[in-house]
A and B are shown apart, each in its own frame.
Chain A
Amino acid sequence: MLETDERLLTWPKEGNRRVPYAVFTDPTIYARENDLIFRGPTWNFLGLEAEIPKPGDIKSTNVGATPVLLMRTADGRVSAVVNRCSHKGSLLCIEPFANRTNLTCVYHAWSFDLDGNLRGVPFRNGVGGKGGMPAAFDPADHGLERLRVETFCGLVFGTFSAEVEPLEAYLGEAMAANIRRVLDRPIEVLGYQHQVMHGNWKLYMENARDPYHATILHAFYPTFKLNKLNMDGGLVLDPIGRHAITYSKSATDTAGAYEGGDLRSMIADFGLADPSVISWKWERDDGISLAVQSIFPNFVIHQIYNSLAVRQIIPLAPDKTELHWTLFGYAGDDDELRAIRRLQANLVGSAGYISMEDGAVVGFIQRGISGDDTAESVIELGGYDVATSEGVRATETSVRGFWNGYRGLMGFEA
């Protein structure tokens, strides 16, 4: 791991309310993030237990730039290893999903069990007593690089860090509570989407926890009164502010704020010819119609009415990011709920009525900030602090919180 280099960046003296655009463009910072964040003391989302139900099931994923395999071992445990043969570095599994009893490299057939132990080296003893591995070669020294793995409510997270606190402590009580709320029963994967955005990964992670843009950029939200800032709701942060939940309660909508103003977002004369895409059903009695939760650094889980999904960020380059959406329902859904979730899938994802714009705006920012490595963004809605904000979502406190967590890991002190 590289030592933090003060010369890499001087953070603005204002702290979390200013972000130098260089963090979205500088390839050196991007490389450093892989070491200090993705391979650092963080828990990264790897997948759902429901995606690897059977012994031998494998899902290919990434933690930052590192290719990782999430696996179900023969005895039913969940494990994760770097998808890289310990001999010459080739990928061991090239399929997105597979089922195997072991991992055998195509190049020289080194083979590993699903805990990453080296089990076979062809010609280890040579041919006819000649060649082969030296006597000192010990397979125990050449296993695959393993990640620490923990599961919570069917979510699987992994970390390269031996020091980071256990997953539930990393999430904190408030974050754990909403995950328990959404994942309170067995789930079933309903579909995948993969969306490439032409912008830095942090632009999307800012976006996912930003309630300011949600009802302005995504005009579908206020137009159909699905989400408005005058509804009761709030932002819940962990103590550092790097994780956040933005939630709202649709039944508490009041007039004003959008009507008669100059916001393009509430389009009064627009009506749906077939409103079945926004017909929905209460599944809990807490009144929360929308909850979008971001866990630092790479994970989002949402409940938007009856639409349920997890989103995983995979950085591809300083200016390119892939977002994996896994849409799910509950295993016990009746036909009515299945039909509702199916139509509400129109709201989210790369073609979603209330989310497609994020793909565009991440690219607009990346293009907008090119050519000037001294400019900064301004993040002052709601003041300067980083704190839970019950009742008020006209604030960017959750975005400042993201930067508070980021700066701490990167050593970017103001």
Chain B
Amino acid sequence: MIDVVTRDPRRIIEDLHARYVRCIDDDRLEAWPDLFTDPCRYQITTRENVTRNLPLGLLECTSSGMLRDRIEALRRVNVYEPHTYLHHISSLQISPRDDGAFGARSNYLVVRTLPEGEMVLFSAGVYADIIEIDGDAARFRERIVIAESRRIDTLLVLPI
């Protein structure tokens, strides 16, 4: 029997955010695409592009296959200095939508650590999400990552 508490959309969405962070920060990136519907929309852009109403950002995936390709490419094709992320998410706000899904907004902060120990605030910004909940399973139909700074240090390869 399902605990009524777990049916609370806020709790389900908080759990989705936590699983999202664990996939990236614990280097279990192959499980990350499973947190999205297919098709989906995952875009990383900047406040500058959003404010200026410009459609392109830093990267965009519109299917589960494209999410998987990003991970496969960073494992096997792309060249970069190994690094890890530590995500912090706060100020989650959720709102029911007419189509039964939920809108969500939260702030994020990502600290990047390089092999020799250099640690920087790599990105901070807002997650603007559309989340589908089916029973007690939740997935992102859309996650727009709006980075506060227009600058990216060196390169962006791990998802935010």
Contact residue among B48, B60, B78 (Cβ-Cβ distance under 8 Å from A192):
B48
Let me know if A360 and B65 touch, CB within 8 A: no
The chain B residue sitting closest to A273, CB to CB, is B65
Q: How many positions in chain B have a CB within 8 Å of any CB in the partner chain?
A: 37
Report whether over half of chain A's contact residues are helix, strand or loop; otherwise say mixed.
mixed
Interface, chain B (partner A; CB < 8 A)? 44-46, 48-49, 52, 54-66, 68-69, 72-73, 76-81, 150-157
The verdict on A276 contacting chain B, using a C-beta distance below 8 Å, is yes
- How far apart sit A322 and B57, CA to CA, in the bound complex (Å)? 17
Specify which chain A residues have a CB less than 8 angstroms from the CB of B48 in the assembled complex. Answer: 96, 192
Contact residue among A96, A196, A217, A270 (Cβ-Cβ distance under 8 Å from B154):
A196
Stretch at the interface among A69-77, A233-241, A342-350, A402-410: A342-350
Interchain Cβ contacts under 8 Å between A and B, 28 examples: A189-B54, A190-B54, A191-B57, A192-B48, A192-B49, A192-B52, A193-B58, A193-B152, A194-B150, A195-B155, A219-B77, A219-B79, A220-B73, A220-B78, A267-B76, A270-B73, A270-B77, A274-B68, A346-B59, A346-B61, A346-B66, A350-B58, A350-B155, A350-B156, A351-B157, A356-B157, A363-B154, A364-B81
Specify which chain B residues have a CB less than 8 angstroms from the CB of A196 in the assembled complex. Answer: 151-154
**8 closest Cβ pairs, A-B complex:** A191-B56, A274-B65, A273-B65, A359-B155, A351-B156, A356-B155, A350-B152, A351-B59
Report A246 CB to chain B, min CB distance, Å.
20
Report A412 CB to chain B, min CB distance, Å.
29
Let me know if B59 and A357 touch, CB within 8 A: no
Please encode chain A, from 278 to 309, with 1 for each CB lying within 8 Å of some chain B CB and 0 for all others.
00000000000000000000000000000000
Specify which chain B residues have a CB less than 8 angstroms from the CB of A191 in the assembled complex. Answer: 45, 49, 54-57
Interface, chain A (partner B; CB < 8 A)? 96-97, 189-198, 217, 219-220, 223, 267, 270, 272-274, 276-277, 322, 327, 342-343, 345-346, 349-351, 353, 356-357, 359-361, 363-364
The chain B residue sitting closest to A190, CB to CB, is B56
Let me know if A192 and B58 touch, CB within 8 A: no
The chain B residue sitting closest to A265, CB to CB, is B77
Report B85 CB to chain A, min CB distance, Å.
14
- How far apart sit A223 and B69, CA to CA, in the bound complex (Å)? 13
Specify which chain A residues have a CB less than 8 angstroms from the CB of B155 in the assembled complex. Answer: 195, 350-351, 356-357, 359-360
- How far apart sit A191 and B50, CA to CA, in the bound complex (Å)? 9
Specify which chain A residues have a CB less than 8 angstroms from the CB of B61 in the assembled complex. Answer: 346
- How far apart sit A96 and B46, CA to CA, in the bound complex (Å)? 14
Report A234 CB to chain B, min CB distance, Å.
26
- How far apart sit A194 and B147, CA to CA, in the bound complex (Å)? 12
Let me know if B46 and A192 touch, CB within 8 A: yes
Contact residue among B44, B55, B69, B78 (Cβ-Cβ distance under 8 Å from A273):
B69
- How far apart sit A277 and B155, CA to CA, in the bound complex (Å)? 19
Report A130 CB to chain B, min CB distance, Å.
47
- How far apart sit A349 and B68, CA to CA, in the bound complex (Å)? 20
Contact residue among A189, A327, A356 (Cβ-Cβ distance under 8 Å from B78):
A356
Specify which chain B residues have a CB less than 8 angstroms from the CB of A361 in the assembled complex. Answer: 79
Specify which chain B residues have a CB less than 8 angstroms from the CB of A277 in the assembled complex. Answer: 66, 69
Supposing A192-B54, A322-B151, A360-B154 touch, asked if A272 and B65 sit within 8 A by C-beta, the answer is yes
